[in-house]
Each structure stands twice: as structure tokens, then as C-alpha cells.
Amino acid sequence: MSGLRPGQALRYKISLAEPGLDALCREFWEHTAVGPVFPEYLFSLWSSMRATLPLLEAAAERARVRAPADPVCAQLVPYLLKHAEEERGHDDWLLEDMEGLGIPRAQVVSRLPPPDVAAMIGAQYYFIAHAHPIALLGCFAVLEGSPLTEPDLAGLAARAGIPRPLLRTLDKHAMLDPHHRDDLDALLDALPLAPEHEALMGLSALTVVEQLGGIVERLLALAEAGS
């Protein structure tokens, strides 16, 4: 018995992996050339966000099918469906923010997705379909685990010369994600998890840390090239 609750154990595993990711994120966010790269960052973020609702729906459907014989899946279904409703339309918010920055919606939706974002999302589809839908919670623990703060966004707006209203999507998530994080932790502590569930969530989370690090490295390289 580890003494850590499942939510604590997952956060601890992520904390072992995230210092490098956090340093990369901070380097990108505070880069003097973050302004010119910001549209590319938003496109990468949108490419990921557009997959959130389909991922949740895929996980919910997989959990629904397995629920009669799987008590973890039975408890996952309502959480996933509720979270799906809470995330609905967020990718559209970001499209609107990008339009405010002069990036036409048609241009965004017709672009080919970044392969690194596709790989990050694709891995979650794989885990959901071929391992267990609980894997998605490991992904969410990383992506919603360290929300941006008001000082982060204020600093970005000043450095990049972006009007604050056009950071609406990031502002809303700065407010919403702490609640999502708490909801997730409460769910994890209530689920009848077996060691293999915790191992899969950990693997999924650590995979996302690595992949998100690669995405931020790409964006940082663009910022460096432009500075």
C-alpha cells in the first residue's frame, strides 16, 4: 500500500516527469519572439482542442460497452459525458479568438494538422480502443493539471502585443481547469482502480508529457528562428 490516494499517485508520477516540460513551456511563453509565433501556437492548440470532444465521446462509448462487466467503466461513463458537455464548443472559442487576430477560420480548418499533435491525440485513441478508456484520464491530468494563471496571461499579452480580449479561450480555461483538475482527482479517488488501471493512466500521462514537450520544442525552435 503506497499511502498515496490514486489521484495523488498520478499527480506524483506526473511531477517526476514535468520539470523539463515546465521549463520548456516557460522558455516558450517568456520568449521575446513569442508574438510572431503565437498564431502557430494557437493553431497547434486548436488542432488538439478540436479532438477533445471526439476523444471524450469515444472513451464514453467504449466505457459504455464495457460497463456491464467493468465497474470502473460503469463509473467513467457519467464523468466522461459530463466533461464532454463542459468542453463542447471550446475549439470554436479559439477559432473566434484567432479570427480576432486576423486568421480566417477557413484557413485554420483547411490546414493539415501538425503531425506531433496528431500523434499525441492518436495515442489516446489507441489506448481507449485497445487498452482501457481510463487512459484518457492520465492525458487530462497532464493537459488540465497546471492551468495558466492571470499573471501568465497578462505577461503574454504584454510581451506579444495581443489584446487581452483575444486571449478569451486561455482566460476561460485558466478559470475552469482548476475545477476540472479537482473533479478528476475526486473521481480517481472514488473509482475501484486496480494496479493495471493506475499503471495505464501513468503511462498515458507520461506519454503526453513527452509528446507535449516535443510540440513545445517545435514552437520554441520557431521562436528562436524568428528572433
Partner 1 sequence: MAARKTNVQKLEAAGVLHPEHCTDAHLAAINKLSADEVAALIKVKKKVGTHLDSSAAAKKAGRPWCL
Smaller CB separation from partner 1, 62 or 83: 83
Q: Environment class of residue 75 by beta-carbon count within 10 Å: exposed (0-12), middle (13-18) or buried (19+)?
A: middle
> Which residue, 115, 87, 139, is CA-closest to 215?
115
Smallest distance from partner 1 to CB 89, Å: 12
SS (H, E, C) 44-74: HHHHHHCCHHHHHHHHHHHHHHHHHHCHHHH
Q: Which positions lie near partner 1, rule CB under 8 A?
A: 1-4, 9, 12-13, 16-17, 19-29, 41, 45, 48-49, 52, 87, 90, 140, 142-149, 152, 169-170, 173-174, 177, 180, 195, 198-199, 202-203, 206-207, 209-210, 212-214, 216-217
Q: How far is the CB of 105 from partner 1 (least distance, A)?
A: 19
Closer residue to partner 1, CB minimum distance, 17 or 191: 17
Measured between alpha carbons, how far is 120 from 41 in angstroms, rounded to an integer?
Answer: 15
Identity of the residue, 87 or 92, whose beta carbon is nearer to partner 1 in the bound complex: 87
Distance in angstroms (rounded) separating the CA atoms of residues 43 and 48: 9
Residue 125: CB minimum distance to partner 1, A? 15
Enclosing H/E stretch for 11: helix 6-29
Distance CA(34)–CA(85), nearest Å, equals 32
CB of 161 to partner 1, least distance (A): 17
When the beta carbons of 8 and 67 are compared against partner 1, the nearer one is: 8
Considering beta carbons, is residue 27 or 74 the nearer one to partner 1? 27
